Chain A
Amino acid sequence: MKKILITWSAFACSIFSIAQENAPMNVADYLGDLKVRHIGPALMSGRATDIEGHPKNSQVIYLGTAGGGVWKSNDAGVSFMPVFDDYCQSIGAVALDPSDPDNTVWVGTGEVWTRNSVSIGDGIYRSKDGGKSWTKLGLEKSERISAIRIDPKNPNVVYAGVLGGLWSNSADRGVYKTSDGGKTWEKILYVNETTGCSELVMDPNDPNVLYAAFWEFRRTAYSFNSGGVNSALYKTTDGGKTWNKIHNGLPAGKMGRIAVAVAPSDSKILYAVIEAEKDEAKGLYRSDDGGANWKFLNGDFGLVVRPFYFSRITIDPKNPDVVVKAGLFGSISRDGGKTFKGLGSMHADIHDIWFDPNDSQRMFVCNDGGLYRSMNGGNTMVHVENLPISQFYHVSVDNQEPYNVYGGLQDNNSWFGPSQSPGGVEARDWNLVGQGDGFRVYPHPTKPQIVYSEMQGADAIWRFDTKEQQLKTIKPYPGKGDPKLRFNWNAAFTTSKHHPDRLYAGSQFLHLSDDMGNTWTKISPDLTTNDKTKQNQEASGGLSADNSGAENHCTIFTIAESPISDKVIWVGTDDGQVQLTTDAGKTWTNLTKNIPGLPLNTWCYHIEASVFGESIAYAVFEGHTTGDFKPYIYKTTDFGKTWKSIVTNDIPVFVRSLQEDYKNQDLLFAGSEMGLYVTLNGGTTWSKFTSNMPSVAVHYMEMHPRTSDLVMATHGRGIIILDNASILRELKPEITSKTLHFFETKPFVMSEKSSFGGTSTEHQFVGSNPPDYAQIRYFLPKRHTFGKMTMEVLDMSGNVVAKLDPGKQKGINTVDWYFNSKAPKSAKGKTLDGASLFTPRVKAGKYKVRVTKGSDVFEQEIETVYDPKSPFTLEERAIQQKVTKENFDFVQELAYFVYQLDTWIASAEEAKKKDPKKGTSAEKMLTGLQGIKDKCVVTKGDNYVGQGEDQLREKLGDIYSNIGSYYGAPSTSQLENVQSLRDLFNLQKTAFEKLNSTELKKFQAELTKLGLKSPEVKSFEDFLKDDQL
């Protein structure tokens, strides 16, 4: 039977192995410990949309964000951690089950503050373990969920307010109810395909009483409408069976977005803010009879401003007269809504407010700058500094060492910061280089102090000299006879790969400057459809005019100059046109009609001009502004005459960005609205990259040409970097049939920089640094679980230099080696002397890595090189290495000497114990030995300020580690110090020899007399063999 099984298993293995080699790899299965790193930043944070706290335990708070998922605090809002990374990161509503708030949390995805850049949701989720794991419970087509209300008496009864599609008609809107904990949902209130539930509140005293605000709204790429005859406020008193409009006292005519709240302390009191047809009717209304009658109170700007963006009312849980209204700055009333004042200073654009139900002075406020907390009822606001939910639109990199990343953010300016920094990438590392909403930011290719940035709609394009602090606006203006220039909200401009001072900017025309933006030339006709019906932004907004520039349309959106030829320039427009010039703008060809299967006017979000040929390009389109959430990625290899779709069903949502690898044509990255995807076969199959990578929208990517780092601008989780993505070039199906595969590595540079670390306080976000040590990488087709697996680094003569812990997981394993060799064996003492355990760094050269897995041995050669940027010469390094080796030996020599002393001390103590009388040789030996030892090593005190005076071991450790950790030649004074310690040691050796010559024989005779043996003293070599430090 055993034999049959073995034969079968061998057969099956061979089938699977053949199949594996031919089948495309699902990269996600083999990522192993290959992880992206997050560098934030969090100093400006990003839009937070909904906050909910535990009703009894004020320590627990959940935060929903616009693009960064859900975060949880267990320490009353001091620090937060992400708990929803695997799922859609656009959050509409978060709700804690009042009957089980410790464990049961609901999340409705899809933000409801419907600005132009808002993302989409994909349903409702529930956690039963406080956010550790989540289950999707339907409403997949809801697109955006405005509220979740849970029956406090029956957790299976849950109501969801579904605002629904922003960009298209949809029947998936209204109020939904489940009575079986989310297994099934019933639509209990529906108006029509254009009107969704924008707010849903429950009477705290009667779960059958709910109020639902319905909003008629629609956004397109070029317009926004808020309001219509179908917007209304409804009430049910029977758990949703019947609903009635409650408009008595509310304005007649069309309504827009309605905010509504019921006072927790008196559920007869309601407040509503109405976006009405007439300006004088817009404002705050109050009802004191559960919505039966309403009275107008206040039409302050702070209450009526931009209802689509600010429609949340929060009432103090203990005082029905304390009302806070979200708004541009946030307003608070302490007289029942009669008068309002602003909340304390903080970032503008307030979206949600939460009061601690146990202490109304404690409140939290969500806005475009993240989260603020107040301990004094909103008078003073403190920014939460550990929420890296920043929303980048774009990213670029420079070629400095370390390189910097540049980008602009939603309502949070333009910045650049380092990709690494001592102690990690901190808030202080980021530099402000633009204001307003920031988008594209570029370094000048050859003048590092010059940075270009812009604000919304190209209201400004700046050239900023960061060294001289000189700021010049350089945007193109219309020339004589030109029409108004149309710039996108996220206006296209870019630098050139061929001419350092060149800039391109896209309105409806392509503009070129060869003098850093001082003068511009139009090098194209209008490249858009110039559809006049899409250019009436003045009428945008509906009941509340909203002409911010966010709806500018028929504009150039992406400009891609070929990295191979400056004559080849590709342009994509927001109205779906792809245009090409191959003669630097003299003539243009519209390629749109050549693209098969692309719906008309689908936004061309990105064109990637390939490094592999000037005729090769990729075009990424996305139609979410028409309700089309499908991905579109095309490739052309013939200057756009033909295009082939290279996207598959592996990517379930729309894509905005694409990055090609510079070495392997088949390795491509796609930035989708819900995470990063990678293909190893030119788009035949795609896999989601999940390793520490949230399902966040990736708006733009850049691969650093020197490091092969993939740098991602995410719209909700800041800048995320996949360091050295080149490893993916080697990830091929054939390696899955090997027992172990080492990845090739470039020589490892041994950085010789030092620093004192960072300065951030404990609860500020600090971005992680890339490795500045060797990363040895190999591939295991399956996890190693049984038997021994070891890893060693050997020199080329076969001597073991270091032992490392190998990774065991399936896929890519990374083992860090800090270039350390072995530590010396140092003398024992009463205290710890870490300095004498300093491990010298290896020399530059070739080494062998050996992995032993069971009886199999695998070897790989690696190389270490000195930091080419370091100021030290080889001669200086040689002196340092020689002195360090001498000191290493000195430490071990002293350790052996102390060992000998200890051995004889132990023997003398034993003898003295047996014969305690005075004047014995044992006593003389003991006194003499101890005296010598006291000069060699600290023999009293503790490891802190009670430590005894430093002795030879401590002084030697100090100079040994100081010389060893500086890679240039030691100073004269350091060398003199070593010599003085050597002299001191020689004195002790002489003293020991003298003691031996005078007392040893007598002592040994005494031992014999006492029936004791002379101690065995190991040889120096044997002493070193004992591994114990």
Chain B
Amino acid sequence: MNKLIITLAMMVTSFGIFGQSADEIIHQSIEATGGANWDKVNSLKYSANLEQGGMKIPLEVVAMRDGRTYTKINIQGMEIIQGAFDGEVLWSTNFMTQKPEKATAEDMENTKRSLGDFPSALHNYKKAGYKVSSEGEETVDGVVCYKIKMEKKPVLVDGVEVPNIEYYFIDKDTKALIMMESEITSGEMKGVIAQSKFSDYQEVNGVYIAFSQSMGVKDGDSQNITFDKVEVNPQIDENTFTYKGE
């Protein structure tokens, strides 16, 4: 019996891959979640009904390969756009006045610096010249993950360039992305680690997409969004991206 277990253990070991580079791990993750099908994805539209204490608030997130994006919520007939980027201007609807307002020049510049990170920086890091490295393994929610460090283009914080580092935690077995971490670089939360966790992966047009995403801070609270529908290359009213302020 012992011998059998040892043999089985050796089999498992031989299936396992050790000492992989960050490039290899990322490559495997992309292959496992859609491979070349990702190349055919030019836009994504996520639709959800946010459940907020009994309220159901429709939410729509659109991201385009060219970097344009918006998040729209609809409540009592009001459309509120948040984090919209039309290629030039990053803007949001002011909730009080319901009028569009520009984000800071610094935020806009930082958005432009990550253009091309579609559908995620894992797909674009080589082209963008981001440096990736393997940081060993770490357990996330009970899943043993590869930890990948990605050094992106620095971001501006109060006029000073600071490193822009993200950590990706990829399930060692399934190669699915389980978590992403980054440090909050400005404001009162500066220094706190932001975490996004991904689950409920489902196939859409040949690619696997996390239908459930939880966003929060390390050791703190988080907010979950579960999408009812994710559309690949959907019809999109391109006018929605556009900043319509002065």
Contact = CB atoms under 8 A, between A and B. Distances in A.
**A and B associate:** yes
A530 interface: no
A1027 B58 contact: yes
Given A786-B176, A789-B212, A805-B224, A818 B97 contact: no
Pairs of residues from A and B, 4 with the lowest C-beta to C-beta distance, nearest first: A810-B142, A828-B77, A839-B54, A809-B141
B56 interface: yes
A785 B201 contact: yes
A823 B224 contact: no
A822 B54 contact: yes
Interface residues of A, number: 57
A942 interface: yes
Interface stretch (A74-82, A169-177, A713-721, A903-911): A74-82
B96 A809 contact: no
B158 to A, nearest CB: 10
Given A787-B202, A810-B142, A828-B77, A802 B183 contact: no
Contacts of B188: 75, 79, 762
A229 interface: no
Given A29-B142, A809-B142, A823-B56, A788 B200 contact: yes
A891 to B, nearest CB: 11
Contacts of B57: 1029
A783 B176 CA distance: 12
Given A786-B201, A788-B202, A804 B51 contact: yes
Nearest to B56: A1027
Given A72-B191, A79-B188, A132-B183, A785 B199 contact: yes
B98 A942 contact: yes
Given A72-B191, A1028-B58, A788 B141 contact: no
B8 interface: yes
Interface stretch (A199-207, A429-437, A829-837): A829-837
Given A1028-B58, A1029-B75, 6 more contacts: A805-B224, A809-B141, A943-B97, A1027-B58, A1028-B74, A1029-B58
Interface of A: 8, 12, 15, 29-30, 32, 35, 72, 74-75, 79, 81, 85, 129-130, 132, 692, 762, 782-790, 802-805, 808-811, 818, 820-823, 826-833, 837, 839, 942-944, 946, 1027-1029
Interface string B1-41: 00001001001000000000000000000000000000000
A85 B77 CA distance: 47
B42 interface: no
A823 B200 contact: no
A783 B76 CA distance: 37
Interface string B183-208: 10000101111000111111000000
A942 B97 contact: yes
8 contacts: A29-B142, A129-B165, A785-B176, A786-B176, A788-B200, A828-B76, A829-B77, A942-B97
B193 A132 contact: yes
A785 B171 contact: yes
Given A692-B219, A839-B54, A943-B95, A75 B142 contact: no
A100 B222 CA distance: 33
Contact of A808 (B11, B199, B219): B199
A732 to B, nearest CB: 17
B174 interface: yes
A130 B174 CA distance: 32
Interface in B38-71: 49, 51, 53-58
A132 B219 CA distance: 13
A130 B176 CA distance: 28
Contacts of A946: 97
B164 interface: no
Contacts of A839: 53-55
Contacts of B212: 789, 805, 808
Interface string B71-107: 0001111100000000000000001111000000000
Contacts of B98: 831, 942-943
A181 B65 CA distance: 44
B143 interface: yes
A562 B74 CA distance: 63
A810 B54 CA distance: 27
A826 B54 CA distance: 13
Given A72-B191, A787-B202, A827-B76, A820 B53 contact: yes
Given A803-B51, A818-B53, A944-B97, A783 B58 contact: no
A786 B32 CA distance: 13
Contacts of B219: 35, 85, 692
Nearest to B226: A805
A789 B76 contact: no
A7 to B, nearest CB: 12
B155 interface: no
B211 interface: yes
A810 B199 CA distance: 12
A89 B209 CA distance: 41
Contact of B192 (A81, A944, A1027): A81
